[in-house]
Amino acid sequence: MYSWNPFSAGHAEVKYGVTNTGNVRVQSTDTITSAGPFGLLSTDAAAAKAREVLPRSSYQATRTVGGLWPVIRVRTTVTATPSAIGDDDLGSASLTSATVVVTTWVIPWPQLILIGVIAALFWLIRRARSRRRAAFNAALARAREEAAASARHGDIDEPAAAP
């Protein structure tokens, strides 16, 4: 459903079926919309051509919705809107559209992996700096101890007096 590139949107393949339960032939125009939580990052599938649906028959369709970001939860809405074909007189028949909403949980693995890599690099850099600082402080402490020991034993030459 998503792209392994953490900086690009993915796609979803939506499979659905439409059934004409009435006794009049109609054509169905299908729309598909997907959105993240609170309707964020909404995207629509390309417009579908109207398909004729005979009475008591159905069809299955598969469409691709692009531009989807893995935002934990994606709601996809499929709406089939029927309309009369040509000059057919529907009389007192009313056509009602059918809508189905499906929620899909999408874990943003590429983004989580990227965050993990960045966190690991940050930790490694901090650890290397800490070790380097500790090594420098240890060397500085050793130098101070050696200088103090030399001063106690009189190993340091007195500077010559100025004339």
pLDDT confidence tier of residue 4, bands split at 50, 70 and 90: confident
Cα–Cα distance measured from residue 111 to residue 135, given in angstroms and rounded to the nearest whole number: 36
Q: Is 157 helix (H, G, I), strand (E, B) or coil?
A: coil
Per-residue pLDDT tens digits for 77-92: 999 988 877 666 666 5
Q: Is 50 helix (H, G, I), strand (E, B) or coil?
A: coil
pLDDT of residue 155: 61
3 found inside a domain: no
- Residue 126 sits in the same domain as residue 81: no
- Residue 48 sits in the same domain as residue 103: yes
1 found inside a domain: no
- Residue 81 sits in the same domain as residue 114: no
Return the ∠ at Cα 105 (arms to 101 and 111), rounded to 5°.
135
Q: Could you tell me what percent of the chain has a pLDDT over 90?
A: 32
22 found inside a domain: yes
- Residue 82 sits in the same domain as residue 115: no
pLDDT confidence tier of residue 1, bands split at 50, 70 and 90: low
Q: What is the CATH number of the domain that holds 17?
A: 2.60.40.10
The yes-or-no verdict on residue 118 having pLDDT over 90 is yes
Which residue type is seen at 66? Answer: G
The yes-or-no verdict on residue 135 having pLDDT over 60 is yes
Per-residue pLDDT tens digits for 37-56: 888 888 888 777 788 888 88
How many domains does the structure of the chain reveal?
2
Domain of 24? 10-86+95-107
Q: How far is CA 122 from the centre of its chain?
A: 23
pLDDT confidence tier of residue 163, bands split at 50, 70 and 90: low
- Residue 36 sits in the same domain as residue 100: yes
- Residue 67 sits in the same domain as residue 126: no
Per-residue pLDDT tens digits for 18-30: 988 888 888 888 9
